[in-house]
């Protein structure tokens, strides 16, 4: 996939749509969750090819996924079929155009599954032992309780491991106030642009929380690794995080990593801002030893990452319905990933499948990051949006106060009652109505 460095990496550049009469074109993918290898196949060595036929309607939604075969065939065929059908059903497209009108489309191609190693085959690295989310959470808690010297030693170990996955021919580094950015892009200017983007995110976060929260002082710089290749990044992800489904991650030692092989500009910018937000919260807001709630950690990172960029500035909380996508057919207008997410949540509410506020708050690590993680991420983002914008004044007073109390370790239910005057359950009906009108 072509890496669109110039367009993708300018966080401070607003993308202005150019409207024109649409020419005939094929359906263009604009939201492409990656097909994940089933965990049950770990150690089997299987990485099959799966030819598929996908039906897309005039709105760009997938209506049917046909798995033609799994090759080579094995006892795990049903698992590979299920993973393919479920993931491709969640893809979204800019619809095919014929004669100036959107039309249905039938697409055919072959999915290549990546191989999944067994835990014993992975490099030791700096990662939790055990594959469960709770094991990872317990490990992160231990890291966050460490004194600076021990945490820095662990960060250096993680950094050495991360550097091994960079392509040595184009390895570069760039230091800024809060970050040391390593990358292996062929563009010599990318490191400086990346460092500037991360710093710009920190500036936005300071402005969001400054009325109530005084950021903790810097102890040592965040190590940021940006990989040209998704494969290089995924190798690190498996080594350090013991998982393989995320396109970016922040590690509690003080390291973050992303890759440049994203499908579009929106995806890359969102991931960059999302992970920088995790770094900011961990290093400058959360008190040592405090377990920050998953819904608030991920929801706030999604809230900032899904925000609009206009005239060179990120506008927190404002989302766009459409974006320009760079495709093999040139720049194309399509619905934004945020718009798709909001539509999915509204449908879940209508079908009574949405998560309640207490369910979001009480979800375990394995549940939050399990099969329904996209719904947990989405509804956590919209809950943060509600807690910041649901009533006049919340963004200046209530929400920063909520963040401060939670970062100090106060129980979430008590914080809700103290700050908003309601329990999580009592706030649920108003939250759902807010989402419906979003």
Q: What is the pLDDT of residues 22-52, one digit of tens each?
A: 457 778 776 777 788 887 777 777 889 999 9
Answer whether residue 367 is part of any domain. Answer: yes
Please check whether residues 386 and 262 belong to one and the same domain.
no
Q: Which two tokens stand for residue 348?
A: 């879940």
Please check whether residues 92 and 178 belong to one and the same domain.
no
Mean pLDDT of the chain: 82
Cα gap 312→15, rounded to integer Å? 9
Query: Percent of the chain beyond pLDDT 90?
Result: 38
Please check whether residues 239 and 164 belong to one and the same domain.
yes
Answer whether residue 93 is part of any domain. Answer: yes
Answer whether residue 14 is part of any domain. Answer: no
Q: Residue 52's beta-bridge partner residues? A: 67, 109
Q: Which of 89, 112, 135 marks a domain boundary?
A: 112
Q: Which two tokens stand for residue 232?
A: 């290089």
Please check whether residues 143 and 255 belong to one and the same domain.
yes
pTM: 0.71
Band of residue 12 on the pLDDT scale cut at 50, 70, 90: very low
Cα gap 137→183, rounded to integer Å? 28
Query: Percent of the chain beyond pLDDT 70?
Result: 83
Please check whether residues 203 and 225 belong to one and the same domain.
yes
Higher-confidence residue of 334 and 182: namely 182
Answer whether residue 403 is part of any domain. Answer: yes
Please check whether residues 148 and 174 belong to one and the same domain.
yes
Please check whether residues 389 and 304 belong to one and the same domain.
yes
CA proximity to 177, closest of 276, 251, 257: 276
Q: Which two tokens stand for residue 377?
A: 């991420």
pLDDT digits (tens, 9 = 90+) for 245-274: 788 999 988 999 999 988 777 788 889 999
Given a cut of 70, whether residue 337 has pLDDT beyond it is: no
* CA quadruple 39, 274, 334, 84: dihedral, nearest 10: 0
Check which CATH number belongs to the domain holding 243 and give it.
3.40.30.160
Cα gap 213→207, rounded to integer Å? 10
Q: What is the DSSP letter of 293?
A: -
Please check whether residues 436 and 344 belong to one and the same domain.
yes
Q: Which of 239, 260, 290 marks a domain boundary?
A: 290
Answer whether residue 20 is part of any domain. Answer: no
Domain count, the chain: 3
Answer whether residue 269 is part of any domain. Answer: yes
Given a cut of 80, whether residue 141 has pLDDT beyond it is: no
What burial class does residue 70 get, using C-beta atoms within 10 Å of its C-beta: 0-12 exposed, 13-18 middle, 19+ buried? buried
**Domain of 145, in residue numbers:** 127-290
Answer whether residue 121 is part of any domain. Answer: no
What mean pLDDT comes out for the span 84-100? Answer: 86
Answer whether residue 44 is part of any domain. Answer: yes
Cα gap 66→59, rounded to integer Å? 19
Please check whether residues 286 and 328 belong to one and the same domain.
no
Please check whether residues 67 and 207 belong to one and the same domain.
no
Q: Which two tokens stand for residue 139?
A: 């490990």
Please check whether residues 229 and 328 belong to one and the same domain.
no
pLDDT digits (tens, 9 = 90+) for 188-228: 888 888 898 899 899 989 888 877 888 888 778 999 999 99
Please check whether residues 298 and 309 belong to one and the same domain.
yes
Check which CATH number belongs to the domain holding 38 and give it.
3.30.2420.10
Q: Which of 264, 290, 316 marks a domain boundary?
A: 290
């Amino acid at each position: 996939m072509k890496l669109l460095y110039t367009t993708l990496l300018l966080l401070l550049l607003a993308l202005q749509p150019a409207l024109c009469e649409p020419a005939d074109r094929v359906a263009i993918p604009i939201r492409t969750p990656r097909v994940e290898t089933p965990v049950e196949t770990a150690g089997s060595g299987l990485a099959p090819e799966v030819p598929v036929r996908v039906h897309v309607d005039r709105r760009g939604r997938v209506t049917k996924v046909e798995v033609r075969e799994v090759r080579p065939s094995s006892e795990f065929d049903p698992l590979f079929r299920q993973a393919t059908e479920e993931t491709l059903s969640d893809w979204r497209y800019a619809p095919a155009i014929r004669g100036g009108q959107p039309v249905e489309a039938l697409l055919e191609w072959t999915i290549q599954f990546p191989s999944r190693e067994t835990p014993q085959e992975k490099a030791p690295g700096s990662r939790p032992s055990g594959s469960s989310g709770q094991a990872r959470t317990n490990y992160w808690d231990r890291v966050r309780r460490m004194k600076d010297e021990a945490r820095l030693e662990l960060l250096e170990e993680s950094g050495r491991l991360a550097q091994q996955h960079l392509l040595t021919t184009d390895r570069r580094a760039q230091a800024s106030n809060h970050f040391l950015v390593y990358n292996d892009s062929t563009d010599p200017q990318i490191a400086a642009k990346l460092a500037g983007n991360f710093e710009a995110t920190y500036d936005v976060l300071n402005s969001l929380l400054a009325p109530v929260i005084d950021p903790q002082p810097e102890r040592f710089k965040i190590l940021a690794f940006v990989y040209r290749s998704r494969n290089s990044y995924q190798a690190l992800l498996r080594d350090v995080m013991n998982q393989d489904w995320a396109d970016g991650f922040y590690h509690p030692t003080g390291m973050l990593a992303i890759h440049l092989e994203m499908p579009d500009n929106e995806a890359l910018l969102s991931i960059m801002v999302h992970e920088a937000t995790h770094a900011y919260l961990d290093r400058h807001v959360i008190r040592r030893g405090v377990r920050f709630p998953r819904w608030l950690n991920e929801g706030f990172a999604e809230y900032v990452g899904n925000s609009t960029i206009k005239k060179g500035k990120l506008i927190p909380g404002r989302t766009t319905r459409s974006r320009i996508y760079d495709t093999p057919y040139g720049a194309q207008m399509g619905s934004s990933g945020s718009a798709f997410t909001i539509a999915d949540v509204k449908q879940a509410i209508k079908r009574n499948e949405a998560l309640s506020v207490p369910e979001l708050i009480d979800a375990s690590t394995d549940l939050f990051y399990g099969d329904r993680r996209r719904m947990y991420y989405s509804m956590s983002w919209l809950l943060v949006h509600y807690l910041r914008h649901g009533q006049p004044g919340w963004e200046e007073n209530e929400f920063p106060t909520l963040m401060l109390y939670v970062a100090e370790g106060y129980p979430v239910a008590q914080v809700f009652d103290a700050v908003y005057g309601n329990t999580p359950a009592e706030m649920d009906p108003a939250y759902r109505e807010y989402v419906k009108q979003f």
